[in-house]
Chain A
Amino acid sequence: MTKNELNKVIETTLQFFTSISGKKAECGIPFLKKDNPVVLEYTGIIGISGKRKGSIYFTAEKLQLVALAKSMLEEEDVSVDDIKDLVGEIANTISGNLRNIFGTDFLISVPVIIDGEARDIKLPEDIESYVIPINWENTKAFIVVCLE
């Protein structure tokens, strides 16, 4: 991935938070994923095929997803199913929006949801994976991009 592409991923992710909540998110310093696990309470994974191959995943604290779901649904009662669905929808929306940068041959799968903290998300070892920390309303998430 180029620096410009990474910046576009950050821009798209921050724009997503502003669009759905009206509140800005902040991006931490991106870093290369090594052996340390990068996984929080709920994760949505999108497989990428076409001209670029790999994965994009969004992993977040439950607190963040609950707050986002309340904001989107304009109601206080949010179920675990809503949260699981939302984490997949966030991964799907950010990945889909990235077609503006990567082109129409950037093909995305339906999301796979991981409920509960996994040990880690397995990604291809021969491709660099970039981790982008996201802070929103004092809650934490990461978007991880692994694209050849």
Chain B
Amino acid sequence: MQYQEGEKLSNRIKILIADDSSIIRKIIQRSIVEDTFEIVGIAADGLKALELFKAENPQIVTLDITMPEMDGLTVLEEMIKINPQVKVIVISALTDKATGINAIKKGAKSFIAKPFTTEDVRSKLLKLAETVA
């Protein structure tokens, strides 16, 4: 889908995408259902993700763990401190159980293992959208 900066429709759910891989960011963007979500930011590193989070106050975040500048789990902790209501989906190649459990303990609502398909992300996002007030 095309992300048009400045485009805002108040009834859509605001979403932030954070992943250091441009190809993964593109796949996640393709998963976004335009009628339901509005992409308010796209970050390629942890610090930028946090900066956009503070500026845009997204309701849902897709968050990679292994990123430059600040790792995703640290970013997750910071995001939860700022807004405990935010719904974070961690998307990571680190597929061991302990990493997934750790992410959930730190406040993530869902976990998607890499490699994944657009359908995997779309279905998780739509499910999470139902829980956004």
Contacts and interface: CB of A to CB of B under 8 A. Distances in A.
Interface of chain B: mostly helix, strand, loop or mixed: loop
B81 interface: no
Given A95-B93, A96-B92, A108-B66, A16 B22 contact: no
A93 B23 contact: no
Contacts, number: 64
Contacts of B114: 92-93, 96-97
A100 B118 CA distance: 23
Main secondary structure of the interface of A (DSSP, over half): helix
A73 B66 contact: no
Interface residues of A, number: 26
A19 B23 contact: no
A104 interface: yes
Interface of A: 16, 19-20, 69, 72-74, 81-82, 85-86, 88-89, 92-97, 99-100, 103-104, 108-110
Interface of B: 20-24, 26-27, 30, 66-68, 92-96, 98-99, 113-118
